Structure 1
Amino acid sequence: MKILSVENLEKSFGDLQVLKDISMEVNHGEIVSIIGSSGSGKSTLLRCINRLETIDSGKITVDGQIMVSTENGKVQYANNDILNEIRLKTGLVFQNFNLFPHFNVLKNITQAPIRVKKVPKDVAEKEAMDLLKKLGLENRKDAYPHQLSGG
């Protein structure tokens, strides 16, 4: 089942075209890496998918909901209710991540689900620990950002 579909995505900053006819799909359960040289558009692509940047043309569908499409040459974003639903299903860790320096790893991971989605603390902590285990980082749950590698 497709959880993300990007079709013919285009994005420019002035005269510089950063994304040129980018298409991709991500299916449920897949792990995908976006690789490329510095300045090749990786972050811009992710920022467009998370609507931190607007697109010039193309279509993005998240979990079956059209976030943005181009109709008759005009970019049309979904209504705010749909965009908010999509935002609850997506996330982005910035290159210069901004963790709360006074929270340990576990608390940094659980803050959004607890505060935004109203997930009970015990459920959020279990899900966070499951994620940390998948990454082999469960032993870092009590570490603070300054104690972690930037890599």
Structure 2
Amino acid sequence: MAGNELLAQATMIPDYQQVSFVALGWDEVPELGDEYPVEFIADESSVNVFTFADDQDQHGDRTVDIYVYRGTDTTGLGRLIFDTPLNFPEPELTFGSILATAEYHHHVPLRRTGSIPIRVLTREAQPGNGTDVINVLIDDS
């Protein structure tokens, strides 16, 4: 993780066990295909990361820790589940609840617009309980 710059950090209760990472101004929602369960769903400007199964969150109070970094070093950040460029029409990434609009999301400024490589890595603090740590690496150099 040496060399990565921490841009944002948050702890949240994910609605419908998902956390959404979206290019500012993008209002489409990735479609869930026939394959379920999945670790993520994505389109050209967003990725929704699934955290834990419905039956693992019976009380709705489980939290997920989210870290967004600028950099490329994946050491110690978890298991790589997503490694694809996303298109950013504005130089800003937002993340938060899949039910909230961008104004209620966390905002992360980027250095540029266009196609930017994004990597998402996940970890389970307690193995078998589902993802409760999401690390996002942005390579916007």
Is the structural similarity TM-score above 0.5? no
The structure, 1 or 2, with the larger RCO (C-alpha pairs under 8 Å, 6+ apart) is 2
Which structure is higher in helix share? 1
What TM-score do the two structures reach when normalised by structure 2?
Answer: 0.24
Which structure has the bigger radius of gyration? 1
Which structure is higher in strand share? 2
What TM-score do the two structures reach when normalised by structure 1?
Answer: 0.23
